[in-house]
Structure 1
Amino acid sequence: MLMTFSPGVLPNAYPTLATIACGDRAFCRFMAWADKTKAATSTPLTPAQSAAITFSYLRDRSADYEKALWNCQQVRRPDPTQCMRARQTLRAAPAAADKAAPRRMRHRNSTVCGARRPPRQRRPQPRC
């Protein structure tokens, strides 16, 4: 569930608004933004939208789990455990200029523990 908070809504009211919005659902994921210009209107979220989330609430009654988290870069909280982890955007490294096929490296003891060798090889299995 995606939502934008109206100006003037206090951060302490966010969990109440989330539980009201989730109603009686056994599973509910609630994400809200204070800045409507950065808010998502559909999923999946872009990295910028994820970073701009102000408040997140997750409920899963089958796992007896309920958690409310604030973006503490936007909202001050007295307890740091109430803060979302900072999101980092990962980017792919540029491809190597050398287009030669990579060499397959093989070590003389390259057997996987528990794997069986073909019957024609009669070496002892490594101990794991």
Structure 2
Amino acid sequence: MFEGQERTTGCQFTFSCDGALTKWQPPEAAWARARQIAGMALNGKVFRPVGHATHYHTDWVVPYWQASLDKVAGVGSHLFFRWSGWWGTPPAFNRHQVAGEPVIAALAPFSPAHRAGVEGTAEAGAALAEGAAVTGAATPLASEPDTFLVSLPGGLAAEGFPAFAHKLCGDRPHCTVMAWRETAATPQAVPLTPLQMETMAFSYLRDPAIGIERTLWNCGMYPAIKGARCMKRQALTAVPIPPSLAPEPGPTPTSAPGELTGIRRASASTTPAEVKPQP
């Protein structure tokens, strides 16, 4: 359903990449009906005209996989297909449902199951942050005790980064957390270089004095996160050479170089006709 959601166009279902989930929320009755239908489908109920179809698409597109499958039926503007050979027969469906569905943060406002999963991820982030603080793997800078430059714990999903940052900051009224995915890329001091800013994976800033609390992700690394939650990409430019390191200009010549010896020249008063060819 969310395949291709990292693209602004070309995603499998447009609602997953056109911002619709942030602009409209289905009525509770409609959402409950959708869950009911999904439950019936998972328990084996099918719409008889489509039989054992496993793929479908609208009739105004031609996906690359269409020619490799067997067409089952057309229902309205949708065409339904099944696998060729044995995988398109009833015995191929004699399988068990795989436990453990992925947690989709975008569905958390609509689905209790996804909301619980996201909250669990946040709790995991807090636990990882607590462990990191206890072992001393994540401590603030000595020069700036309200600033953390850290490596993200392995296995922590992007949705858990804010909880990780909150745990690091504790009760500090002002706090900045900048995080990288790889320890080797994590800087040890500020200010950051353009490359360090470009490879930063996540940042958190809070300052109640000016009313700011902001979490930002590097959406090039986490394409499922979009819009205002994305960091602005930094353009890498050449670093200017300080004047103290620039090469000093050489001395300016005060007179033209002297005449070269061994060269025979025509005098200024000699006309071209008077110049005799040399043997």
Structure 1 residue 78, shift from structure 2 partner: 3.8
Structure 1 residue 79, shift from structure 2 partner: 3.1
Cα distance per residue 1:1-30 (max 9 Å; x no partner):
111012211100000010111111111111
Aligned to 1:9: 156
How has the CA–CA distance of structure 1 residues 10 and 93 changed in structure 2, closer, same or farther, with 3 Å as cutoff? closer
% identity of equivalent residues: 32
CA distance in 1, matches of 2:212, 2:240: 37
User: Is 1:58 matched up with 2:205?
Assistant: yes
CA distance in 1, matches of 2:162, 2:240: 39
CA contact (8 A) 2:219 2:225 kept: no
Cα distance per residue 1:38-63 (max 9 Å; x no partner):
11111121211111100000100111
CA RMSD between the two structures: 2.2
Paired residue for 1:40, among 187, 196, 199?
Answer: 187
Counterpart AA for 1:51: E
CA distance in 2, matches of 1:93, 1:16: 39
CA distance in 2, matches of 1:53, 1:78: 15
Cα distance per residue 1:55-82 (max 9 Å; x no partner):
0001001112100000001112343211
**SS of the residue 2:166 aligns to:** helix
Tell me, which stretches of 5 or more residues in structure 1 are unaligned?
95-128
- Structure 2 counterparts to residues 1-128 of structure 1, below 5 A: 1-91=148-238
CA distance in 1, matches of 2:198, 2:184: 13
Structure 1 residue 92, shift from structure 2 partner: 5.9
**SS of the residue 1:37 aligns to:** helix
CA contact (8 A) 2:218 2:231 kept: yes
Counterpart AA for 1:15: P
The structure whose Rg is larger is: 2
Cα distance per residue 1:60-110 (max 9 Å; x no partner):
01112100000001112343211000101233679xxxxxxxxxxxxxxxx
Tell me, which stretches of 5 or more residues in structure 2 are unaligned?
1-147, 242-279
Counterpart AA for 1:71: N
CA distance in 2, matches of 1:58, 1:8: 23
Count of residue correspondences:
97
How has the CA–CA distance of structure 1 residues 75 and 93 changed in structure 2, closer, same or farther, with 3 Å as cutoff? same
CA contact (8 A) 1:77 1:83 kept: no
Aligned to 2:102: none
Q: From the two aligned structures, give the one with the greater helix fraction.
A: 2
Which structure would you say has the larger RCO, counting Cα contacts within 8 Å and 6 or more residues apart?
A: 1
**SS of the residue 1:9 aligns to:** coil
TM-score norm. by structure 1 comes to 0.67
